Amino acid sequence: MSTQPPRVLFVDHAAVMGGAEWSLLSLARRWRSERAVTLFEDGPFRQHLNEAEVPVDILPASAAVLGATRGGGAVADLLTVPGILALATRLARQARRFDVLYANSQKALVIGAVAALLARRPLVWHLRDIITADHFSPARRRLAVGLANRRAAYVICNSEATAEAFMEAGGDPNKVRVVYNGISPAPFDAVAEDEVAQVRMALGVGETPVIGVFSRLAQWKGQHVLLEALAYLSEAHALLVGDALFAEDRVYADALRAQAASLGVTERVHFLGFRDDVPVLMKACDVVVHTSVAPEPFGRVLVEGALAGRPVVATDAGGAPEVINDGETGHLVPPGDAQALADTLRTLLTDPIATPRIAEAGRQRALDHFSEEAMVRAVEATLLDER
Ligand code: UDP
Ligand code: GLC
């Protein structure tokens, strides 16, 4: 079928690279029809879009709109109303040149719902969060679900777990479509062995096992559990790749350093900050772990670890069990259980037969089930229904 997909204006409030932004970058880059991205602030995401030759526009949001947090309530929301209306009016002007307005975040949904109404365009929401009390205040949940039910043509969810939480919060099941993230293996396949050796040399780890976690530093991402697990493992090193992307997470980032010191593992912990060379860093690890202590909506890092050919250990919640078949294509451990994580890591690091087999099965599963091509085509097919 060569039906041309609709012209889409994607909207995202964020300008820093979280999983939602990496995923939208793939989608916009591979979209087979006219598309553009509008962001509410300037930052690295714009540069990535520029490099991918995706047209991008910045409509700066007021401080009140950008500052609204997931935990915020109805009173705080009232303060943002003038900012929302101003922004939505400008977005509506842009949206008239496209067939569909596509919100990639909750803030984009709020502004997008008003803009879509003004521009008389259908609205699609790509829901990438598990909307439960773990992550969102009741006011935020009511607002998002209410807007989606009333205004969105589709709610594209990044996992069944995300879809279930949306429906449990009152979301309309008829609007839900589950589309998994897809990730290209190319940047992982392009890494040369000597680049990996160089990274390990620079870290000064010799032959010692290295365990990597690749997430922004945030309490719910649970890096503290890896540090605790490290104390149970006599010699392994940990790579913490990622930074506090949002102001509210800086306290946690500092607490991690203090925790490493008090556990006496500082020499074995490498804080690398935010990096653009995740594939080579993953390949420099013996195991890639995911430690989220709240349910992870999807977890791109699980697929990436597998594409890097490394065994992946993830916490058993949210979308992770949809990505990993426990004991076959990776391992799942209970969230927040440092002892269980340490035990699983010890087994993986000492089993020369089962470990490469699991890594290879994980890689195959990533290639078969989480391809970029499949993701883009599934979203295109959903939007074609809309016309
Ligand atoms: N990532 C990155 N640099 C870092 C740490 C992480 O580019 O220093 C990337 C990582 O490779 C992944 C994304 O950020 O593609 C995180 O996405 P994920 O879905 O795992 O979690 P999110 O941050 O969206 O909750
Ligand atoms: C969100 C989620 C993450 C998911 C990403 C891409 O940022 O936290 O789990 O992988 O979106 O959909």
Say which CATH number the domain at 46 has: 3.40.50.2000
Instruction: Report the distance separating Cα 213 and Cα 73, nearest Å.
Output: 33
Number of domains in the chain: 2
Does 41 share its domain with 166? yes
For the stretch 118-153, pLDDT in tens is 999 999 999 999 998 877 889 889 999 999 999 999
Whether residue 2 is contained in a domain is answered as no
Would you say the CB of residue 18 lies under 6 angstroms from ligand 1? yes
Average pLDDT over residues 104-125: 96
- The confidence score (pLDDT) of residue 82 equals 80
- Say whether both 154 and 206 belong to one domain: no
Atom of ligand 1 at shortest distance to CA of 183?
Answer: 15
Sorting pLDDT into bands at 50, 70 and 90, what band is 385? confident
DSSP string, 208-260: S-EEEEES---GGG-HHHHHHHHHHSSS-EEEEE----SGGGHHHHHHHHHHH
What is the percentage of the chain residues whose pLDDT exceeds 90?
A: 87
* Alpha-carbon span 240 to 25, nearest angstrom: 24
pLDDT band at 77 (very low <50, low <70, confident <90, very high): low
Residues in contact with ligand 2 by the CB-under-6-Å rule are 18-20, 23, 128, 158, 181, 296-300
Question: Ligand 2 centre from 201 Cα, in Å?
Answer: 32
For the Cβ of 19 lying below 6 angstroms from any atom of ligand 1, the answer is yes
Ligand 1 proximity of 20 Cβ (cutoff 6 Å): yes
Give me the mean pLDDT over the 180-188 stretch.
Answer: 98
Does ligand 1 come within 6 angstroms of the Cβ of 221? no
Q: Are the CB atoms for 213 and 291 separated by under 8 Å?
A: yes
User: How many CB atoms are closer than 10 A to CB 51?
Assistant: 10
One domain for residues 17 and 137? yes
Q: Which stretch of 35-49, 66-80, 241-255, 305-319 has the lowest confidence by average pLDDT?
A: 66-80
Residues 381 and 250 in one domain: no
Domain shared by 168 and 240, yes or no: no
Ramachandran angles phi, psi of 271, nearest 5°: -90, 110
Query: Number of C-alpha atoms within 13 angstroms, CB side, residue 74?
Result: 4
- Residue 74 has φ and ψ, to the nearest 5°, of -65, -35
pLDDT score for 219: 96
Q: What digits encode the pLDDT tens for the residues 193-222? A: 999 999 999 999 999 999 999 999 999 999
Q: How far is the CA of 300 from the centre of ligand 1 (A)?
A: 7
Judge if 263 and 218 occupy the same domain.
Answer: yes
| Distance (Å, whole) CA 137 – CA 73 | 7
100 phi/psi in degrees, rounded to 5: -135, 145
Indicate if 305 and 376 belong to the same structural domain. Answer: no
Position 238 in a domain = yes
Q: Where are the alpha helices (DSSP H) in 132-214?
A: 138-151, 160-168, 186-189, 193-203
User: Which two tokens mark 94?
Assistant: 């842009």
Average pLDDT over residues 308-330: 98
Q: What is the mean pLDDT of residues 252-268?
A: 96
H helix or E strand, kind and range, residue 269:
strand 269-273
Q: Who wins on pLDDT, 246 or 363?
A: 363
Ligand 2 nearest atom to the CA of residue 18, by list position: 7
Average pLDDT of the residues in 38-62: 95
- Residue 81, pLDDT score: 81
Residue at token pair 């994580």: 341
- The alpha carbon of 55 and the centre of ligand 2 are apart by a number of angstroms equal to 23
- Ligand 1 nearest-atom number relative to CA 290: 20
Does 92 share its domain with 15? yes
**Statement to judge: residues 93 and 58 lie in one domain:** yes
Please indicate, yes or no, if residue 377 is contained in any of the structural domains: yes
Q: How far is the CA of 351 from the centre of ligand 2 (A)?
A: 31
Measured in Å, residue 300 CA sits from the centre of ligand 2 at 7
Residue 387 pLDDT > 60: no
- If you count them, how many residues does the chain have? 387
- Residue 136's domain comprises 8-182+371-386
Give the chain's mean pLDDT: 94
* Ligand 1 and 300: CB distance under 6 A: yes
